[in-house]
Amino acid sequence: MTRRVNFRADLHIHTCLSPCADLYMTPCRIVEKASSLGLNIIAICDHNSVENAEVTKKLAKEKGINALPGMEVTSSEEAHILGIFGDIDSAKRLQDIVYENLQAVENDKKAFDYQVIVNEKDEVLGFNKRLLIGSTRLSVEKVVELIHHFGGLAIASHIDREVFGIIGQLGFIPPDLRLDALELSRNISTEEARRKFKEYSHIPWIKSSDAHYLPDIGKASTSFFMNHSTFEELCLTLKGIDGRQVILY
């Protein structure tokens, strides 16, 4: 049997593009922090946007980290679903549809913070004026369908959080919803989650930080025992193909 390597992943990190994230969450600093922690794979998942993902991917590559482009989509029921992709073009296609379906309200900088788009030197390129914190008109079923349509992984965010977690919003996970994984937040131990969510043990679980501040990166992470640190391997590992394994911390 092939010897699997332990790749440590934090698949839910916000940047300064998310209005609720710290302005210090710039691609440079995120990559630096991830590198210092020895993370092998990260995913940039801002609210309803991927506009800082490409630059992060580029910077991360120089440090040997695979930074996957992703997005935390808000469904019409206000459940958060992560869409994580192997390439930026697929992520942007989802973004187009998400933008079309996002509430048509401008971001109010008095109520929420700046939504900053930056370059690889952390210089400000512009501000996203959409209300990224708002919800889309897309149902959870539609969100998952779209993510799959564009070749991504659909993961229910922080299922242990009552508000914005799918179980809190919808009471239970619709049995026909084809989620690739469920994410536990850093606020719940794996043991507690095993007791609390045992009816969902047939779906793979991951743990990620949902970092909005630099010190939070890597505070929760998942180990993927697989061959390479690629998106394709990640997909195979979530399916448990050929003895690949997911281990939660």
Partner 1 sequence: MKLYEIVDTLSLEVKTASSYLTKEVTGGYVSDLLSDVMANSKEGNIWITIQTHQNIVAVAALKDLSGIILVNNRMPDPEALKNAESQGIPILVSSLPAFELVGKLYILGLRC
Question: Which residues make up the interface to partner 1 (CB under 8 A)?
Answer: 76-78, 139-140, 162-163, 167-172, 174
Other CB atoms within 10 Å distance of the CB of residue 129: 10
Q: How far is the CB of 131 from partner 1 (least distance, A)?
A: 18
Amino acid, single-letter form, for residue 87: D
Q: How far is the CB of 177 from partner 1 (least distance, A)?
A: 10
Starting at the edge strand that comes first in sequence, how are the strands of the sheet with 5-13 ordered? 205-207, 181-184, 153-156, 80-84, 66-74, 41-47, 5-13, 222-226, 245-248
Q: How far is the CB of 9 from partner 1 (least distance, A)?
A: 28
**Measured from the CB atom, is 151 or 174 closer to partner 1?**
174
**Measured from the CB atom, is 93 or 142 closer to partner 1?**
142
Q: How far is the CB of 149 from partner 1 (least distance, A)?
A: 19
**Measured from the CB atom, is 76 or 227 closer to partner 1?**
76
Q: How far, CA to CA in Å, does 31 sit from each of 43, 67, 76, 224? A: 11, 9, 32, 19
CA-based nearest residue to 8, from 29, 26, 32, 35: 35
What is the pairing mode between strands 41-47 and 66-74? parallel
**Measured from the CB atom, is 136 or 237 closer to partner 1?**
136
What separation, in Å, do the N-terminal and C-terminal C-alpha atoms of the chain show? 25
Give CA–CA dist 82/92, Å, rounded.
Answer: 14
Q: How far is the CB of 26 from partner 1 (least distance, A)?
A: 34
**Measured from the CB atom, is 31 or 177 closer to partner 1?**
177
Q: How far is the CB of 171 from partner 1 (least distance, A)?
A: 3
| Tokens, residue 193 | 């989650």
**Measured from the CB atom, is 169 or 230 closer to partner 1?**
169
